[in-house]
Structure 1
Amino acid sequence: MTLIAPGRPRRSVQSSDLSRHAKEVFAAAEHEPLEVTRRDGKPLVLTTKERSDEDEAVLEIAAQLIAAVTVHEDLPLHDRLAVPYPWLKLLSRADQQRFAREIVDVARGSFSLHQPRRLLLEMQAWRNSAEAIAAGWDTSEPEIVGDPTPVEKP
Structure 2
Amino acid sequence: MTMTADFHSRTRRSSDLSKHSAEVFAEAEDHPVIVTRRDGEALVLMSQREAEGRTRLLEVAAQLISVVTDDRGTIAERMTKVFPWMLALSESDREVCAREVLDAALASFSTEQPHLAIAELTSWKETATALAAGLAGADLEWLDVETPVERP
Q: TM-score range by the shorter chain?
A: 0.7 to 0.9
Structure index of larger Rg = 1
- Cα 1:23–1:82, aligned 2, differ >3 Å: closer, same or farther? same
Q: Equivalent residue for 1:69? A: 68
Q: Structure 2 length as normaliser, TM-score?
A: 0.82
Q: Identify the residue that residue 152 of structure 1 maps to in structure 2.
A: none
Tell me which residue corresponds to 1:102. Answer: 100
Q: Aligned residue for 1:52?
A: 51
Asked if 2 retains the 8 angstrom alpha-carbon contact of 1:37 and 1:43, the reply is yes
- Where does residue 38 of structure 1 map in the other structure? 37
Identity of paired residues, percent?
40
Q: How does 1:125-144 map to 2 (within 5 A)?
A: 125-138=123-136, 140-142=137-139
Q: For 1:98, give the aligned amino acid.
A: V
Give the root-mean-square deviation of aligned CA atoms: 1.9
Distance 2:95 2:61 in 1: 18
Q: Distance in 1 between matches of 2:67 and 2:101?
A: 12
Q: What SS does structure 1 have at the residue aligned with 2:134?
A: coil
Structure 1 15/5 Cα, relative in aligned 2: closer, same or farther at 3 Å?
closer
Q: CA 1:16–1:78 in structure 2 vs 1: closer, same or farther (change >3 Å)?
A: same
More relative contact order, 1 or 2 (CA 8 Å, 6+ apart): 1
- The structure with the greater share of residues assigned to helix is 2
Task: Tell me which residue corresponds to 2:20.
Answer: 21
TM-score when normalising by structure 1: 0.81
| Structure 1 unaligned spans of 5+ | 143-154
Q: Which runs of 5+ in 2 are unaligned?
A: 140-152
Distance 1:48 1:5, change over 3 A: closer
Number of corresponding residues: 137
Q: How much has 1:5 moved relative to structure 2?
A: 10
> Which secondary structure state, in structure 2, belongs to the residue aligned with residue 13 of structure 1?
strand
**Offset at residue 43 of structure 1 (A):** 0.3
